[in-house]
Amino acid sequence: MQAELIRVNYTHKLLHFLLFSLQFMFRGLDPALLTLPVRIVDGALALALALAATTLIFILPLRSRRMVLATMFAAFDRPEDRPHTLRWISIQLVLTYTVAFPLHLHFQTLGLPQMLTILILINAIGDGLAEPVGVRFGRHRYQVRGFFDQRTYQRSLEGSACVLLSAVAALLLFHNSFTMMQWCAALLLPIAVTLAEAWAPHTVDSPLIFLTGGGVLSGVLLLP
């Protein structure tokens, strides 16, 4: 009943923002934290905590006995994801950390940890807004497959535009991190991550945005 007050498509993406950005955002936006060494165990611990927080405590035997857990689960249990909600959340977390944490180490080694912040902004804001914007304003829809699932799911050009615009905004925010040649090449990033989000199977767009965006930025940084 509570889930009807606010559409689950909105609350799902709010949790998406919290889960996939905060553990990196604090490092990416606080200059004092950028100098701290990052250990592999940090990423493993963050992944373990995220998995425990989003899956283990929401298994059916627990949430069926605790109303608060059932209400929290309803906030991200989209009808189209059932009965795979917890499985797909877990898979997306694992894949996203598997891609994002090595990228974090790579960009930190280059002395440009803000590159990961660009990807975080695209993922958290662009992909985070894509679904609610598509639900509310989407008029031009297209279909994608599920992750190892033959069902089709709808996305919209209006939602994908959020990814494009967030990538442009993120590049403008950090334009001083690039040389002129790098900046020109980096203009490929918005197109690349938008296509990655558009073609990604349902529920695994986050890791593909990180992977595609990280690849583009790594190539851009090779230029003088």
Q: For residue 73, with 0-12 CB atoms within 10 Å meaning exposed, 13-18 middle and 19 or more buried, which class applies?
A: buried
pLDDT given at position 21? 54
Q: Which of 148-162, 168-182, 188-202 has the lowest mean pLDDT?
A: 148-162
Helices and strands per DSSP (H, E), number in the chain? 12, 2
**Tens digit of each residue's pLDDT (9 = 90 or more) over 26-60:** 554 444 444 444 454 455 556 666 666 666 666 66
DSSP code of residue 125: I
Check whether 178 has a pLDDT greater than 90.
yes
7: pLDDT strictly greater than 70: no
The answer to whether 88 and 78 have CB atoms below 8 angstroms apart is no
For the chain, which residues make up each domain, given as ranges?
Answer: 2-220
What does the pLDDT look like over 108-155, one tens digit per residue?
A: 889 898 898 899 889 888 887 887 787 788 788 888 887 777 778 788
Phi, psi of 149 (to 5 degrees): -145, 130
